Amino acid sequence: MKQPFRTAQGGRIDRSRPVFFTFNGRQYAGHAGDTLASALLANGVHLVGRSFKYHRPRGILSAGCEEPSALVQLEKGGLTEPNMRAPVVELYDDLAATSQNAWPSVEHDIGAVNGLLSKLFVAGFYYKTFMSPKSFWMKVYEPFIRRAAGLGKAPTEGDLDIYDKMHAHCDVLVVGGGPAGLAAARAAAASGARVILIDEQNELGGALLSADELIDGNPALDWVAGIQAELLANPEVRILTRTTVTGYYDHNYLIAAQRRTDHLPRRAAGKTARQRLWKIRAARVVLATGAHERPLVFADNDRPGVMLAAAARTYANRYGALVGKKVVVFTNNDSAYEAAFDLKIAGAAIPAIVDLRPEAGQGLLERARNLGIPVIAQGAIVGVKGTKRVAGALVMRLAEAGEAFADTQPAELECDAIAMSGGWSPAVHLFSQSQGKLRFDDAKACFVPDVAAQHQASVGACNGSFELGACLAEGLDAGAAAAEAAGFPATAKLVAPVAQSRAFGTIKQTWVVPSLRPVGHGKAKHFIDFQNDVTAADVALAHREGYKHVEHLKRYTTMGMATDQGKTSNVNALGYLSTMLGTSIPEIGTTTFRAPYTPVTFGTLAGRDVGHLADPERHTPIHAWHVARGALFEDVGQWKRAWYYPRPGETMEAAVSRECRAVRESVGVLDASTLGKIDVQGQDAVTFLNLLYTSAFSKLEIGKARYALLCKEDGMVMDDGIVARVGPSRFYLTTTTGGAAKVLDWMEDYLQTEWPHLKVYLTSITEQWTVAQVAGPKARAVLEKLTDTKLDKESFPFMAVKDATVAGLKARIFRVSFTGELSFEVAVPAHQGKQLWEAIFAAGDEFGITPFGTEAMHVLRAEKGFIIVGQETDATVTPQDLGMGGMVSRLKPDFVGKRAYTRADTARVDRKQLVGLLTDEPQTVLPEGAQLVEVSDDPALTKGGTSPLPAPVPMIGHVTSSYWSPTLGRSIALALVKGGSARHGQVIMAPLTTGAVRCTITGPVFYDAEGKRANG
Amino acid sequence: MACFSAMAGFEGKRSMTRYSALSLLKNAFSHHEAWAPAWRKAEPRDSYDVVIIGGGGHGLATAYYLAKVHGITNVAVLERGPIGLGNTGRNTTIVRSNYLWDESAALYEKALSLWEGLSQDLNYNTMFSQRGVLNLAHNHGDVLEAQRRVHALRLNGIDSEYLSRDEVKAFCPIIDIRPDVRYPVWGGTLQRRGGSARHDAVAWGFARAASERGVDICERCEVQGIRREGGKVVGVETSKGYIKAGKVGIVTAGHSGVVAAMADIRLPVESHPLQALVSEPVKPIIDCVVMSNAVHVYVSQSDKGELVIGAGVDAYTSYAQRGSFHVIEHQMGALLELFPIFSRMRMLRQWGGIVDVTPDASPIIGKTPVDNLFINCGWGTGGFKATPGSGWVFAHTLATGQPHAINAPFALSRFETGKLIDEHGAAAVAH
Ligand SMILES: Cc1cc2nc3c(=O)[nH]c(=O)nc-3n(C[C@H](O)[C@H](O)[C@H](O)COP(=O)(O)OP(=O)(O)OC[C@H]3O[C@@H](n4cnc5c(N)ncnc54)[C@H](O)[C@@H]3O)c2cc1C
């Protein structure tokens, strides 16, 4: 396939290797080493997409990550990606790309009618209209805006790729592999420092890849190859290409995103992680991130074929692709001359270099003359011919001063491309993210790093040093200094290579090029932000309406907020704003540079923490056994807890009833291993616990346990559990399953910040123990078969704790009960848990021993009126509210929450208190969460329905737990009710969507109120 | 209003054009060169009846309702930077009123009812979009909480529905509801009247409407001291000099502790970074707000096409308006758990704000121990949705010297009496 815009030779593409790809369904050929943009250009394709608002035809502006215009949708299905910048998409076999934001095609786009309305669609127009009729906003206007907005399409299928993360530490991190970065890396590595060198491109060399510079008299790329070989041979150096440093955070913590397979044919990557997030901590950082060329803002500067001069040069030199056969060059500085020369040498005609300045830099005119390129000094492009492709440039000469023209009529220069340069903006993004302060360099017309905030240096173009010699020298010095600061003084000073130096020259600060009619008049548009369709007229409008602060300007016009984050537009907008304000750019300041430097896929950010690794799944040692028994599981915190064990064909209700009956009538076993467990040791352990829990432990004997509450400073219940004393100054605590980590953190927090003088040591032992809760009238009989320890009531009373041997295992037995039945919790080291478990089941076989899950446990405890933290409590419930006032010590001088109980509101007697509820109709199970009101025959309450009530109705409480009780053969519920403890026997009602349910308030204990069973 | 047109900094003759399609069209003929500044750039005068410290949405709304509802126009809003760039301009703009507690429900519902006519009232399109806020439930505790909330809201006269898993899927088809994911979706609650709005437009719209009624909006005017005489506030020291004030209202969000300290008041407020991020813009893919406490992330799509994503606060306290990267990583994992199709989307921009968190996660709106000094703060992670309601009740408080019935429960004194309104317990992600 012919590539009509290929140069005859040269470039870093492999002309022997064709690569075929499709764009908008048409097949094209490029070469290995091409990007999608260079391959399109080689084929003469400039029209790539349509703009955001006006659907103007758009081409390729740049040759790098700053690209605002040439965005494409790459691939399809589970591999598709929107908004990919064509200049950084490396070409691979069978690549398939399509234009975005155009229908039916990029050539003929219906959306272009918006262009006709462009006089209405000015900056912020939507704030002024679409307000009436009111109902149209949601139905007509907003859907219209939403459909119009957005560029590419989000994937609609799951991702087929995987992602991962790496942590790395180094002495010196060098960001950018151009001349300055290479010099820095070389110097740092030569000192023996551990160096990481990162570059976003596929190969090292940076700007040298596009130029024809000489270093030490040889082609610059030979120098690059030499340094690269030297670095590769050094085991302390890691080079990451195709990797973008995207974020610079505090303490030299940097984030980089590496693209590992994106340059390969799709699915060729196999199981290789597609992208990798690097989290790097560096002692010193050297930023050598280069600079971005700025467009010139002139009439219709967005036409396909108008592009940055350095990009045109890159396409010619690096990729062997000509951006046009006839290229007009338009500039306000010297750098574009090199582009003109190289384009000419590569085979393009250069009808003229139009220079806004009266005079070009030294020697340039002569070189132009030698190459036969006319230069129009003090000239301006005032208009562009062609819409889908540049067809000509209208040029006028400027008068000596100001905005006036020297000519009366523009001259038309026929051309198929315009290469422009409005000067250079150092890539100060990372520097700025690191909180470094910028300074505006008036002579170079750009922001440069001023005061660094971290251990960091900026070198080369990102430091405003645009000359090669300076880049090399700065890099070498900064690399050596960084290594030295990291503890690696240089052994010998490296000699800076000699580069043929081209002076940067002068630049004329022209923020908006004068045109035939003032901006905002006439048809022509002067684009500042290409992607968001922000024109000079929009900036002027924002200024006029008072949105003069850069942040207001940015937000009002959306300038700089597109996918390129203003890399090519911000400074032009600031410059133009400054001319309107009549102030200098430094007085205005810049907008904040926010991470990431270039967008990062969500997949990379999530890494492996997706799917079942989204959050660790915690299993007890008995998990496999539960699975084998057909258990269903419930998520409790990170734990998978056995919920219930349905037999084949059994409903949840039937299974839970069966499990409950087993516990009430014979014996059941619950896997209680997930409860949080904390080992507390130290001479001040009692003091510590007395300060934290509401009850007192000074008199707790060794071998005894107590149920206890933890409250927050405001007196509200936070967690509960058992406190068992297992030695003179050693305790074993349990917490709720979900609260374990929080409670330990909280205890440590108090210990370390409030009471550092206490000698107490806390250790989480949650996962060190397996705990089997054996509950039911036959619990003792089962365990007696497994241990010699006396379990009778006198030898092992309720709330006793003993070390014992159970089933031949060293165990600790707690006689505690959460079901209201006789119950023993047997704890053994985790790895022996399964053995214990199986022994218990073997011993219990004759009693029909039954595993029970969390659901049955919930029912059983509710029958007993035992609370579950988080269900009966919600951070607004005190121990007194729960009827546990007796557990709040009156004698202890202090404990967390104590002060709260004397506060007016906490001491009120009509607070919401825990009660039982019995529905009038015993078969009716109240829904949990149902709100409670006083009995009323207001039809709004009694008739049900889902719609909100016409006026608020006072609520007196809500149902916290509600079950069918198999033991009682009726429904039961727990609730928090205002003044509830004094209202036992009264009737209230739950107004449900299905109608009101009447119920009677009772005490919260429905079963064995005297506690004979647990005590027996 | 006499001094109004003589005001310093007031440029030319003022004709506050009403915004409409027609005025837009008319202005198109004059190349949009006839538009006036949206709000007057006022320089502070010596003395005001009411000085409001903080030009965020809440401060500007307060000024607007002072003028509109109470006819008090001798008012200045003092903003240390440009208006609306604090949390107002950094938030993820979720608006809803489905709060559990009666006091909160009344407050946020007042706000929501004002939102519903706000664009027309201000004559500035705040792009308030009632596309529905869906809160997912992933476990038994979530379902219990959701049901409780729905029941309470119905009785409080506020729209809210419980959705089953399949109804969740029908309402937002791109959520992954497969039962074998790490935290499967069990159901959720939906407030159809909830949604989002354009944050900047809220600040600018209130500023313009307040300015039009005579309020001075003084930007780059930082309050540096609060002058008192005999237990009573008399004025404020600012970067632009001393300003006398009859009454002063502090509305400075993340910096409330700092400003209150100028009057020797120690607030029960901690300032935390809260981060958010957006993706690159794409065509419409999600048409509602989805929030999940258990998986800990929330997402919506802006009118520009960006996915707007957030989660909880950074754990440490800070005044630096940026957070820690790992928080972002974590919320991305959570997002992909709910929406695996977003894996190849890209993060475009991340940022942070400083939110003022009270012990009960409810705001403080009312009197301070200093006479004539009032405060409105503690909105933490979720005050944007309250903006008009907050301004409305605070204007009442400033105008009458007494809280309105709606904000009376939100008094500073509740931290002494213990009458807290604990929204922490009610929701871990409270936006
Ligand atoms: C990332 C993020 C996401 C959020 N998401 C949501 C959401 O989805 N929904 C929701 O409802 N809420 C959300 N919030 C919370 C919401 O943004 C805030 O509660 C709300 O905007 C606060 O408004 P404000 O006007 O009180 O504060 P701000 O907008 O912060 O205004 C306070 C102003 O006071 C000024 N100021 C401070 N000190 C002084 C001084 N000494 N002198 C003069 N001026 C001073 C500041 O410059 C600032 O402009 C979010 C917040 C963040 C940070």
Q: pLDDT for B376-406, tens place per residue? A: 999 999 999 999 999 999 999 999 999 999 9
C-alpha triplet A976, A980, A983: angle, nearest 5°: 145
Q: How many helices (H) and strands (E) does chain B have?
A: 11, 18
Q: Which residues pair with B350 in a beta bridge?
A: B277
Q: A915 at the B interface (CB within 8 A)?
A: no
Question: What residues pair up with B238 in beta bridges, in sequence order?
Answer: B223, B241
CA A746 to chain centre: 28
- Rounded CA-CA distance A181/B182 in Å is 44
3 state SS of B59 = helix
- CB distance B340–A610 less than 8 Å? yes
Q: Which of B286, B346, B417 to mutate to test the interface with A (most CBs of A within 10 A)?
A: B346
Sort out which chain B residues have CB atoms less than 8 A from A715's CB and list them: 418
Please determine, for residue B6, whether its predicted confidence score (pLDDT) is greater than 70: no
What is this structure's pTM? 0.95
Q: Which amino acid is at A1000?
A: T
**What is the model's pLDDT at position A612?**
85
Q: Is-contact A577 A539, C-beta < 8 A?
A: yes
Q: Which residues of B touch A991 (CB under 8 A)?
A: 155
**Rg (alpha carbons) of chain B, rounded to whole number:** 22
For residues A983 and A917, the answer to whether their CB atoms sit within 8 Å is no
**Chain B residue nearest residue A83, CA to CA:** B280
Beta pairing class for A353-355 and A327-331? parallel
What residue type is assigned to position A299 of the chain? A
Write the CB contacts of A124 (distance below 8 Å, at least 6 apart in sequence). Answer: A541, A542, A545, A547, A556, A557
CB A206 within 8 A of CB A181: yes
What's the B355 CA to ligand 1 centre distance in angstroms?
Answer: 7
CATH superfamily ID and name for B47-97+99-122+199-269+359-417: FAD/NAD(P)-binding domain (3.50.50.60)
The reported pLDDT for the residue numbered A503 is 82
CA A442 to chain CA mean position, Å: 37
Contact A947 B284 (CB under 8 A): no
Task: Give the closest-approach CA distance of A601 to chain B in angstroms.
Answer: 4
Whether B431 has a pLDDT exceeding 50, the answer reads no
Q: For the domain B133-193+271-357, what is the CATH superfamily, name and number?
A: D-Amino Acid Oxidase, subunit A, domain 2 (3.30.9.10)
Inter-chain residue contact A157 with B28, CB threshold 8 Å: no
What's the rounded mean pLDDT across residues B9-30? 74
**pLDDT tens digits, A203-227:** 999 999 998 889 999 999 999 999 9
- Give the closest of B24, B138, B426 to A125, CB-based: B24
A984 inside 8 A of chain B by CB: no
| C-alpha closest to that of A18 among A122, A92, A108, A124 | A92
Residue segments in chain A with a per-residue pLDDT below the cut of 70: 1, 268-269, 402, 501
pLDDT at residue B15 is higher than 70: no
Going from the C-alpha of B1 to that of each of A436, A872, B67, B235, the distances in angstroms are 46, 58, 12, 22
- Name residues 157-196 of chain B within 8 A of A (Cβ): 157-161, 174, 181-183
pLDDT band at B430 (very low <50, low <70, confident <90, very high): very low
Q: Quick one: which atom of ligand 1 is closest to the CA of B238? A: 42
Point out the residue among B31, B149, B418 whose CB comes nearest to the CB of A900: B418
Q: Token pair for residue A887?
A: 């557990």
Q: Does A950 touch chain B (CB under 8 A)?
A: yes
State whether residue A549 sits within 8 Å of chain B by CB: yes
Instruction: Name A524's Cβ contacts closer than 8 Å, sequence gap at least 6.
Output: A299, A300, A383, A515, A516, A517
Could you tell me which residues come within 8 angstroms of residue A868 by beta carbon, excluding any fewer than 6 positions away? A736, A858, A861, A961
Full set of structural domains in chain A with CATH: 14-125 (3.10.20.440), 163-291+426-485 (3.50.50.60), 295-421 (3.50.50.60), 510-600 (1.10.10.1100), 653-852 (3.30.1360.120), 909-1014 (2.40.30.110)
Tokens 């399809």 locate to A76
| pLDDT computed for residue A78 by the predictor | 87
Distance CA(A180)–CA(A186), nearest Å, equals 10
Q: Which residue has the tokens 């690096």?
A: A318
Other C-beta atoms lying within 10 Å of the C-beta of residue A13 = 24
Count Cα atoms within 13 angstroms, Cβ side, for A9.
0
Going by the DSSP 8-state scheme, the letter that residue A77 receives in this structure is G
**B34-88 pLDDT per residue, tens:** 999 999 999 999 999 999 999 999 999 999 999 999 999 999 999 999 999 999 9
**Confidence grade of residue B12 (pLDDT, cut at 50, 70, 90):** very low
Task: Among B60, B83, B91, name the best residue to mutate to test ligand 1's pocket (greatest count of ligand atoms within 8 A of Cβ).
Answer: B91
Please tell me if residue B110 touches chain A, with a CB cutoff of 8 Å: no
Q: What is the ipTM of this complex?
A: 0.95
Range with lowest mean pLDDT among A976-985, B102-111, B422-431: B422-431
Instruction: Give CA separation, B353 vs A250, A349, A364, B253, in Å.
Output: 16, 53, 51, 10
pLDDT at A591 (0 to 100): 77
How far apart CA B95 and CA B383 sit, in angstroms, is 9
The residue type found at A107 is E
To the nearest whole Å, the CA of B243 is away from the closest chain A CA by 24
Q: What does B305-346 look like in DSSP terms, one character per residue?
A: S-EEEEEEE-SS--SSS---HHHHHHHHHHHHHH-GGGTT-E
The DSSP result for A910-966, as a single string, is TSEEEEEEEESSTTPPPPTT-EEEE----HHHHS--SSPPSS-----EEEEEEEEET
Reference A539, options A521, A523, A520, A567; nearest CA is A520
- Asked if residues A414 and A392 have their Cβ atoms less than 8 Å apart, the reply is yes
Alpha-carbon gap, residue A109 to A102, rounded angstroms: 5
Strands (DSSP E) along A288-319, which ranges? 291-293, 306-308
Peptide bond into B82 cis (omega under 30): no
Instruction: Decide if B157 and A952 are in contact by the 8 Å CB cutoff.
Output: yes
Q: How far is the CA of B330 from the centre of ligand 1 (A)?
A: 24
- pLDDT of the residue at A118: 87
Is A255 in the B-facing interface, judged by CB distances under 8 Å?
Answer: yes
Q: What is the residue extent of each domain of chain B? A: 47-97+99-122+199-269+359-417, 133-193+271-357
Please give the pLDDT value at position A111. Answer: 84
Positive or negative torsion for Cα A705, A706, A712, A717: positive
The strand order across the sheet containing A801-806 reads A801-806, A809-814, A823-829, A769-775, A668-671, A850-851
Which atom from ligand 1 is nearest to the alpha carbon of B377?
26
Cis? peptide before A950, omega within 30° of 0: no
Do the Cβ atoms of A993 and B154 come within 8 Å? yes
**DSSP states of A179-200 as a string?**
HHHHHHHHHHHHTT--EEEE-S
Residue A115 pLDDT: 79
* Yes or no, beta carbons of B141 and A870 under 8 Å apart: yes
- Gap from CA of B258 to ligand 1 centroid (Å): 14
Beta partners for B374? B249, B367
Instruction: Round to whole Å and give the CA distance between A959 and A978.
Output: 12
CA gap B201, B228 in Å, rounded: 35
